[in-house]
Amino acid sequence: MSARLTILEDRLAFQIKAFGLPEPEREYRFHPERKWRFDFAWPAYMLAAEIEGLVPTWKTPGGGRHQRIGGYEDDLVKYNAAAALGWKVLRFGRSHVLSVYAIRTLEDSIKRGAIAGEYIKTMRELGASDEAIQNARAGTARAKIGTGEM
Protein backbone atom coordinates (compact mmCIF):
# COMPACT_ATOMS: atom_id res chain seq x y z
CA MET A 1 0.00 0.00 0.00
CA SER A 2 1.33 3.41 -0.85
CA ALA A 3 2.01 6.05 1.78
CA ARG A 4 -0.51 8.34 0.07
CA LEU A 5 -3.28 5.78 0.45
CA THR A 6 -2.40 5.30 4.11
CA ILE A 7 -2.67 9.06 4.62
CA LEU A 8 -6.08 9.11 2.92
CA GLU A 9 -7.27 6.14 4.96
CA ASP A 10 -6.04 7.75 8.18
CA ARG A 11 -7.80 10.97 7.23
CA LEU A 12 -11.08 9.13 6.62
CA ALA A 13 -10.66 7.29 9.94
CA PHE A 14 -10.23 10.67 11.65
CA GLN A 15 -13.39 11.99 9.94
CA ILE A 16 -15.36 8.90 10.98
CA LYS A 17 -14.39 9.49 14.61
CA ALA A 18 -14.99 13.26 14.40
CA PHE A 19 -18.49 12.71 12.98
CA GLY A 20 -19.29 10.24 15.77
CA LEU A 21 -19.92 7.32 13.43
CA PRO A 22 -19.50 3.75 14.65
CA GLU A 23 -15.87 2.66 14.56
CA PRO A 24 -15.19 0.50 11.51
CA GLU A 25 -13.01 -2.55 11.33
CA ARG A 26 -9.91 -1.76 9.27
CA GLU A 27 -8.53 -4.24 6.75
CA TYR A 28 -11.55 -6.47 7.35
CA ARG A 29 -11.43 -9.91 5.70
CA PHE A 30 -14.96 -10.39 4.38
CA HIS A 31 -14.80 -13.50 2.22
CA PRO A 32 -14.91 -16.99 3.73
CA GLU A 33 -12.40 -18.44 1.25
CA ARG A 34 -10.43 -15.62 -0.35
CA LYS A 35 -8.02 -13.29 1.46
CA TRP A 36 -9.76 -10.15 0.21
CA ARG A 37 -10.03 -7.27 2.65
CA PHE A 38 -11.97 -4.03 2.83
CA ASP A 39 -10.20 -0.82 3.86
CA PHE A 40 -13.10 -0.08 6.24
CA ALA A 41 -16.01 -2.31 7.19
CA TRP A 42 -19.09 -2.18 9.35
CA PRO A 43 -20.13 -5.85 9.39
CA ALA A 44 -23.32 -5.16 11.36
CA TYR A 45 -24.52 -3.02 8.45
CA MET A 46 -22.88 -5.12 5.70
CA LEU A 47 -21.25 -1.85 4.62
CA ALA A 48 -17.69 -1.36 3.42
CA ALA A 49 -15.62 1.56 2.15
CA GLU A 50 -12.67 1.31 -0.19
CA ILE A 51 -10.17 4.07 -0.91
CA GLU A 52 -9.19 3.68 -4.54
CA GLY A 53 -5.53 4.08 -5.40
CA LEU A 54 -5.62 6.27 -8.45
CA VAL A 55 -2.55 8.05 -7.17
CA PRO A 56 0.84 7.76 -8.89
CA THR A 57 3.82 7.42 -6.58
CA TRP A 58 7.57 7.68 -7.09
CA LYS A 59 7.73 3.86 -7.20
CA THR A 60 4.90 3.52 -9.71
CA PRO A 61 4.69 6.73 -11.79
CA GLY A 62 1.88 5.26 -13.89
CA GLY A 63 -0.13 4.45 -10.79
CA GLY A 64 -0.57 1.42 -8.59
CA ARG A 65 -1.87 -2.08 -9.13
CA HIS A 66 -5.48 -0.90 -9.19
CA GLN A 67 -4.82 1.28 -12.24
CA ARG A 68 -3.54 -1.56 -14.37
CA ILE A 69 -6.00 -3.68 -16.33
CA GLY A 70 -5.27 -6.86 -14.37
CA GLY A 71 -5.56 -5.13 -11.01
CA TYR A 72 -8.73 -3.34 -12.04
CA GLU A 73 -10.31 -6.60 -13.22
CA ASP A 74 -9.25 -8.35 -9.99
CA ASP A 75 -11.02 -5.58 -8.08
CA LEU A 76 -14.16 -6.15 -10.15
CA VAL A 77 -14.14 -9.82 -9.13
CA LYS A 78 -13.68 -8.81 -5.48
CA TYR A 79 -16.52 -6.27 -5.56
CA ASN A 80 -18.86 -8.68 -7.34
CA ALA A 81 -18.12 -11.38 -4.75
CA ALA A 82 -18.83 -8.88 -1.99
CA ALA A 83 -22.16 -7.95 -3.60
CA ALA A 84 -23.09 -11.63 -3.93
CA LEU A 85 -22.51 -11.96 -0.18
CA GLY A 86 -24.83 -9.00 0.49
CA TRP A 87 -22.20 -6.30 1.06
CA LYS A 88 -22.69 -2.69 0.01
CA VAL A 89 -19.28 -1.38 -1.05
CA LEU A 90 -18.72 2.37 -1.33
CA ARG A 91 -15.66 3.39 -3.34
CA PHE A 92 -13.94 6.72 -2.82
CA GLY A 93 -11.08 8.53 -4.45
CA ARG A 94 -8.73 11.17 -3.13
CA SER A 95 -11.00 14.16 -3.77
CA HIS A 96 -13.91 12.39 -2.03
CA VAL A 97 -11.90 11.98 1.17
CA LEU A 98 -10.45 15.50 1.05
CA SER A 99 -13.94 16.99 0.66
CA VAL A 100 -16.93 16.01 2.78
CA TYR A 101 -18.36 13.70 0.11
CA ALA A 102 -16.95 10.43 1.52
CA ILE A 103 -17.85 11.07 5.15
CA ARG A 104 -21.34 12.38 4.32
CA THR A 105 -22.02 9.36 2.10
CA LEU A 106 -20.86 7.02 4.87
CA GLU A 107 -22.93 8.87 7.45
CA ASP A 108 -26.06 8.54 5.30
CA SER A 109 -25.39 4.86 4.52
CA ILE A 110 -24.82 3.99 8.18
CA LYS A 111 -28.05 5.73 9.19
CA ARG A 112 -29.92 3.83 6.48
CA GLY A 113 -28.22 0.62 7.60
CA ALA A 114 -29.34 1.15 11.17
CA ILE A 115 -32.92 1.64 9.95
CA ALA A 116 -32.65 -1.49 7.78
CA GLY A 117 -31.26 -3.39 10.78
CA GLU A 118 -34.35 -2.47 12.80
CA TYR A 119 -36.50 -3.62 9.87
CA ILE A 120 -34.71 -6.99 9.81
CA LYS A 121 -35.14 -7.32 13.57
CA THR A 122 -38.87 -6.64 13.21
CA MET A 123 -39.12 -9.18 10.38
CA ARG A 124 -37.55 -11.81 12.63
CA GLU A 125 -39.89 -10.95 15.48
CA LEU A 126 -42.84 -11.38 13.09
CA GLY A 127 -41.55 -14.81 12.02
CA ALA A 128 -40.31 -13.96 8.54
CA SER A 129 -38.59 -16.73 6.63
CA ASP A 130 -34.80 -16.80 6.27
CA GLU A 131 -35.28 -16.24 2.53
CA ALA A 132 -37.38 -13.10 3.11
CA ILE A 133 -34.78 -11.75 5.53
CA GLN A 134 -31.97 -12.46 3.05
CA ASN A 135 -33.94 -10.69 0.32
CA ALA A 136 -34.46 -7.70 2.60
CA ARG A 137 -30.73 -7.55 3.33
CA ALA A 138 -30.01 -7.60 -0.39
CA GLY A 139 -32.54 -4.83 -0.94
CA THR A 140 -34.72 -6.95 -3.19
CA ALA A 141 -37.59 -7.68 -0.85
CA ARG A 142 -41.03 -6.84 -2.01
CA ALA A 143 -42.66 -7.31 1.37
CA LYS A 144 -46.39 -6.95 1.24
CA ILE A 145 -47.28 -5.55 4.61
CA GLY A 146 -50.51 -6.88 5.99
CA THR A 147 -50.78 -9.78 3.52
CA GLY A 148 -48.67 -12.25 5.45
CA GLU A 149 -46.27 -12.62 2.51
CA MET A 150 -43.04 -12.27 4.43
Give CA–CA dist 96/94, Å, rounded.
5
Whole-angstrom Cα distance, residue 122 to residue 117? Answer: 9
Tell me how many domains the chain contains.
1
Asked if residue 137 belongs to a domain, the reply is no
pTM across the whole model? 0.71
Report the DSSP pairing between strands 88-92 and 25-29: unpaired
Q: Encode pLDDT of 92-118 as tens digits.
A: 999 999 999 999 999 999 998 877 777
DSSP alpha helices (H): ranges in 1-150? 3-18, 69-84, 94-98, 101-125, 130-137
- CATH code of the domain in which 52 resides: 3.40.960.10
pLDDT digits (tens, 9 = 90+) for 116-128: 777 777 788 888 8
Query: Are residues 133 and 139 in contact, defined by beta-carbon separation less than 8 angstroms?
Result: no
User: What's the domain range around 25?
Assistant: 3-109
Domain annotation covers residue 40: yes
